[in-house]
Amino acid sequence: MSDDLPVEVRTAFGVSSGPVRLLPGGDGTCWLAGELVLKPAPHPAVASWLAEVFADLRGPGFRVPLPVRAADGSWVAGGWAAWTAVEGEPDPVARWPDLVAASRAFHAALAGVPAPDWLGRGRNRWVVAERVAWDQAEVELAPELSDLVEGLRVATRPVRLPNQLVHGDIAGNVLFAAGQPPAVTDFSPSWRPAGYALAIAAVDLLTWSAAPPSILDELASEDDIDQLLLRALIWRLVTESLGRPDPGSRQAVRRANEPVVELLLSRVSGRPVTTGPATDADIAASAGRALGREITGLRPVTGGHSRSVARIADHAGGGSVFVKAAAPAGRAELGVELAVYEALGDRPFLPRLLASTSEPLPILVLEMLEQDHWVRDWTAPLVAATRKLLHGVHTLPAPSGVPVLRETSNPWETIAADPARLLRMNVCSRRWLAAHLETLHAAAAEAPTEGDSLIHRDVRAANLWCRDGRLVLADWASAAIGDPWLDHHLWLVALHAEGGPVPDTGQGPHATGHAALIAGQQPLLTPARDTNPALFDQRRRRLTAALSWAARLLRIPPPQPTT
């Protein structure tokens, strides 16, 4: 390969005209020149900050490369930075205990360094993925990976640990050399609890380096390690989803990550690790044991977007029941439903829980609600009854075992970085979006999501059943503890998208912010049209309803499709 290192860079850092070598790994842009490693610095402020931090960073227990100033005294010259070369080779699995010790020493030394203003403000896939993992941000995920991410997200709980600078990619960037402390290189800064760095390293090694699950034993003393591991794997899966355009490679990512997802969810739930999806024979056996009656046949259930396996089960008593069984990454999701049913008991608006089991297969056995009575068309009495039902739900005590909503990231930031996410749905023109994006962003930023109420978050016709004055709200997999008016406004958008009245007629407090927030979330939750046409069209209708509602409230021109 030819020497592409600019002459002026050699001169600036005092590198002789001798040979240089392109280093492997990374982006293939770093050069070894004598005792120095020269790296491109496309963001001089970032490179200078890194240099200042590492210039004063000392062990014991680790070593780091040191920054080298250019002839003019600056850390960056001509768009390049220079660092001393360090000896060593990565060996993360075999040297895992040493890597753990080095990470702890390195992060202890970093503990007092403040975060720079620019950290976490970018829009690349790593930053977006971190918002998904830590801030409940929503983003469109590849269909091959979305259920894995959502299964992990449902199992997350608040982490109340102090944040500090952490290395977000430490697994392959600790070098070992005989007689010297491990060297920590290629710092990728993040602002999270110190143990998060090791959590990322662990899931990386479990997924791609055939590391045994026993490596997690080394992390037993880390505070809240299971929650940090969940977030680390969410982060990695989201970066893979955003960075791999072809389905084949995403399938490979799925196959590599499925066992790790199962391992982490088993740790959180305290159950043994199982393998593979449930078969109909497994479902029949588990449901029969839970119900106390032999299951004589199973029939598939069509429709819906649940990640659980749904079946109509005929039993020896001559009747039928509705059975939901957890998919490999859906245990926590089914656990949320069970928490709702068990906490609320036998209430008329819930399908009756007939039986449940968590081992060996998580199963819900519910009463069979006749197909002919699921809601298909909205009428004025049905709208009024649903509004009354939701109000009643929101006044109930919040059950334990249901995730708590925290402040969410603003979806319009992601759309600003990638307008195609919204424009591909053809509900507005590029010019309209450019003119009003800041207004929508500002409105969504004011939308409250936190609260103390039980909320369903997926109230729509397909989840409502009505017969003889009894109105049933089914499918509680998305239930959470949050702001009741967010739940109400989500329903108003779905209602209008399904042919009901405009949301304005039933809106409540914070309608403007919620309308903008819900509109911004729809493009990030929408699959490609060819992967799931029905879900694409559903999300497009909701986007149209929410965006038009937000425009009316914000007094901006209505959005119009370009064709």
CB of 523 closer than 8 Å to CB of 557: no
Q: What is the CA radius of gyration of the chain?
A: 27
Strand partners, 548: none
Closest CA to 306 of 366, 234, 379, 378: 366
CA distance 478 to 484: 14
Strand partners, 356: 364
Residue length, the chain?
Answer: 563
How far lies 380's CA from each of 334, 501, 506, in Å?
Answer: 33, 9, 12
Closest CA to 75 of 50, 111, 112, 94: 50
* Six token digits for residue 131: 């918002």
CA distance 193 to 232: 12
Q: What pLDDT shows up at residue 7?
A: 85
Q: Please state, as a whole number, how many other Cβ atoms lie within 10 Å of the Cβ of residue 19.
A: 9
Angle 125-135/225-243 helices, nearest 10 degrees? 140
Reduced to 3 states (helix: H, G, I; strand: E, B; else coil), residue 167 is: strand
Does the reported pTM lie above 0.75?
no
Closest CA to 58 of 114, 108, 115: 108
Q: What pLDDT shows up at residue 527?
A: 61
Q: What pLDDT shows up at residue 2?
A: 40
CA distance 292 to 432: 60
Show Cβ contacts of residue 89 under 8 Å, excluding neighbours closer than 6 positions.
175, 176, 177
Q: What pLDDT shows up at residue 329?
A: 46
Q: What pLDDT shows up at residue 563?
A: 47
Compute the CA torsion angle 216, 222, 228, 232 (nearest 10 deg).
-50
CB of 217 closer than 8 Å to CB of 187: no
Encode 125-147: b = buried (16+ Cβ within 10 Å), e = exposed: bbbbbbbbbbebbbbbbbbbbbb
> Which element (helix H / strand E) includes 70?
none
37 phi, psi to nearest 5 deg: -110, 120
First to last CA, the chain: 50
pLDDT (tens, 9 = 90+) of the chain, 563 residues, equals 345 678 888 899 998 777 777 675 455 578 888 889 999 998 999 999 999 999 999 889 999 999 999 999 999 999 999 999 999 988 898 899 999 999 999 999 999 999 999 998 888 899 999 999 999 889 999 999 999 999 999 899 999 999 999 999 999 899 999 999 999 999 999 999 999 999 999 999 998 877 888 899 999 999 999 999 999 999 999 999 998 766 766 887 888 888 899 899 999 887 666 554 567 888 899 899 999 999 999 998 866 655 578 899 999 888 999 998 876 545 667 888 999 999 998 899 999 999 998 777 788 999 999 989 999 999 999 999 999 999 999 999 988 889 898 877 788 987 887 787 788 788 998 899 999 999 999 999 999 999 999 999 999 999 999 999 999 999 998 899 999 999 999 999 999 999 999 999 999 999 999 999 999 989 877 765 544 567 778 999 999 999 999 999 999 999 987 54
Residue 99 one-letter amino acid: L
> Which element (helix H / strand E) includes 164?
strand 164-167
Angle 380-394/484-497 helices, nearest 10 degrees? 160
* Six token digits for residue 95: 């040297």
